[in-house]
Structure 1
């Protein structure tokens, strides 16, 4: 059983267990963002586990272009969970078997993505409309990966009239799921409204396996409050990490009873310099400009609370090289550290 391309081997070593505790926050799978440089940046600030961007099971089996790039990793990028998406049990099982052969040890199946191009394939949150197929897919994935080695990312249901989360999670637990991650909104809500963290607490009371909470965790204070209110084993930071990759450090500080250091220009300069160094280090030889474009898109999230953020965003839009980016950042934030640790 081989894919049409060589799956990058997992650099390992793969741990025998994943940390699932209040002091071990996870980085969520973020399509277009949680690439290797961003994962390493978040790990630098304390992310205990990182999840890859969504990998198409069918794309992996057929060797679709770009699929291998999503799996690029390093030994220091562990523990790493590979998130798969797809609605067909046969492809999910084959994809997991291929990844296991390549050394990967931990997996997640996305049953929560509400993006139209995923839902129209019957994948992501669309799987919540057909729980029996979702269970068939889970059964194939767990059979290939091993009991306890697969987690499932859920929403409450596809819409308010079909809240299937608790029943489906119980059945997934019975099949051998290792953990459940819940974004407590329906697919119809997208990111609208307010995340229902009481639903997370209810799921915690329902299951005997770990529950990871997600949704509206924009700061470490949100994450700590969510754990304390729901009993979730840990949290998965998504949009909060996009705005502040140091959210994991802040999480640790709050747990220890200390006040996190403010994100002043000097600290932001260090964070941005680290991200820039990582993007340059792992830039694709075939597409060297792509890393510059990525930098132009991520920096405005980091600095939006600072005076002059709009001017920096406009300056970055005119950048076409690393020298341009460095000059724009230096003008806005002051000198960037030259000997920054990646």
Structure 2
């Protein structure tokens, strides 16, 4: 398979070896969140205490063929470290080449998504569909590890395609033997998607069998959820997804509770500070016009639990300028 000439990938601006992922009960991670965990949101979460951030999901084939938009998903800064690049795809040759290209650009830590249950990903036999072909999943894993080095690649799993095909235990142990650096388990099946409840007992069963770090995921909507699951399962740490989407300060709360201190109170003033900081970071690092449209969907996520949230969403739908956005925030969340 030959490489395709195109503009180079955005470089990772620091030596990856100097910023390895960290694991531990006081080192919460930000999950890869398609459409959300871009550079501004990662920087925001880091300011509130995220120890490691994972990029949005990047198509290995898209990266190799230099698809439009791929470079934007990889933009980073020195302060955006440690950073893990999450890739998806089901063909070993493409995953190996994608990792090699990223290594040349200075990126050093990678994750393979074997948990996404979005139909357009499943149609490519990627994401959670890989759980239906364990031998191919292992071939892809070995190709990535060969390109990155043992310990430099993690894998995010679900329990299996459905309840009748649980593969998580066997696959996790074989990935460890292949040289995986860490594993993340979202204890639902692909068929469940995000329905029902996460089965955290699977994490408790797997953790004692591993000698590499295991991150817990699934239904961690608050810092209290994260610490409870961490303590109950023996996982090495937690990865916040939807909990971080609704409150990036979840990382500060996690670290405070882990130290035995009270979590910072969730006041309207703190919420306004989060929104203002997110806007500032987004305007600094992204196209201004695109950011305004994105903030119209981001802000309602932060305020959905507040009285008047519906009226705020309606006002944002009519918002066409930064001045109008600030006026709306002053009305609903005066600083």
The superposition leaves residues 210-263 of structure 1 with CA deviations (integer Å, 9 ceiling, x where unpaired) of: 100000000000000011000000000000000000000000111111221221
Distance (whole Å) between structure 1 residues aligned to residue 151 and residue 207 of structure 2: 17
Q: How far apart are residue 289 of structure 1 and its match?
A: 2.0
SS at match of 2:6: coil
Q: For structure 2, list consecutive stretches of 5 or more residues without a partner in the other structure.
A: none
1:282 to 280, 285, 294: 285
Is this contact kept in 1: 2:19–2:82, CA < 8 A? no
Q: Are 1:47 and 2:50 an aligned pair?
A: yes
1:238 to 232, 236, 241: 241
> Which residue of the partner structure matches residue 10 of structure 2?
8
SS at match of 1:289: helix
Is this contact kept in 2: 1:2–1:98, CA < 8 A? no
SS at match of 1:227: helix
Runs of 4+ in structure 1 off by over 4 angstroms are: none
Q: How far apart are residue 294 of structure 1 and its match?
A: 1.1
2:139 to 128, 136, 141: 136
> Which residue of the partner structure matches residue 293 of structure 1?
293
Is this contact kept in 2: 1:13–1:75, CA < 8 A? no
Distance (whole Å) between structure 1 residues aligned to residue 41 and residue 65 of structure 2: 27
TM normalised by structure 1 equals 0.95
Distance (whole Å) between structure 2 residues aligned to residue 16 and residue 147 of structure 1: 16
User: What is the number of equivalent residue pairs in this alignment?
Assistant: 332
Distance (whole Å) between structure 2 residues aligned to residue 3 and residue 199 of structure 1: 45
Q: Are 1:271 and 2:269 an aligned pair?
A: no
Distance (whole Å) between structure 2 residues aligned to residue 326 and residue 16 of structure 1: 37
Distance (whole Å) between structure 1 residues aligned to residue 316 and residue 277 of structure 2: 17
Report 1:77-92 matches (<5 A): 77-92=80-95
Q: Are 1:207 and 2:207 an aligned pair?
A: no
Is this contact kept in 2: 1:22–1:234, CA < 8 A? yes
Is this contact kept in 1: 2:252–2:264, CA < 8 A? no
Is this contact kept in 2: 1:125–1:154, CA < 8 A? yes
SS at match of 1:305: coil
SS at match of 2:257: helix
> Which residue of the partner structure matches residue 304 of structure 2?
304
2:183 to 175, 180, 183: 180
> Which residue of the partner structure matches residue 70 of structure 2?
67
The superposition leaves residues 282-302 of structure 1 with CA deviations (integer Å, 9 ceiling, x where unpaired) of: 122xxx321011111111111
Distance (whole Å) between structure 2 residues aligned to residue 41 and residue 93 of structure 1: 31
Q: How far apart are residue 306 of structure 1 and its match?
A: 1.6
